[in-house]
Amino acid sequence: MVAAIVSDDYIQKLDLTGLACPLPLLKMKLALKGMDTGQCIAVDATDTGSWKDFHKFAEITSNELLSAVEDNGVYHYVIKKGP
């Protein structure tokens, strides 16, 4: 598990709860395209597959998963856009 980061300093927050795979990952990737390197996005999702998807996405891209926490069926992610 990646440690939780609590902050309101995100460039964007996405509420993707209720969306099924692959929509949470696709919508997050689309939002990242409009951001600058080093900016962070916070994402909430309820799709259980998002846990694997977001971790794998960070592993194979230059983006960094700063936080990944599950709380009562809601997955909270913070992603920092890489170069």
User: Could you give the residue numbers annotated as active site?
Assistant: 21
Distance CA 61, CA 19 (A): 23
- Cis peptide before 24, with omega less than 30 degrees from 0? no
Backbone angles phi, psi at 41, to 5 degrees: -125, 140
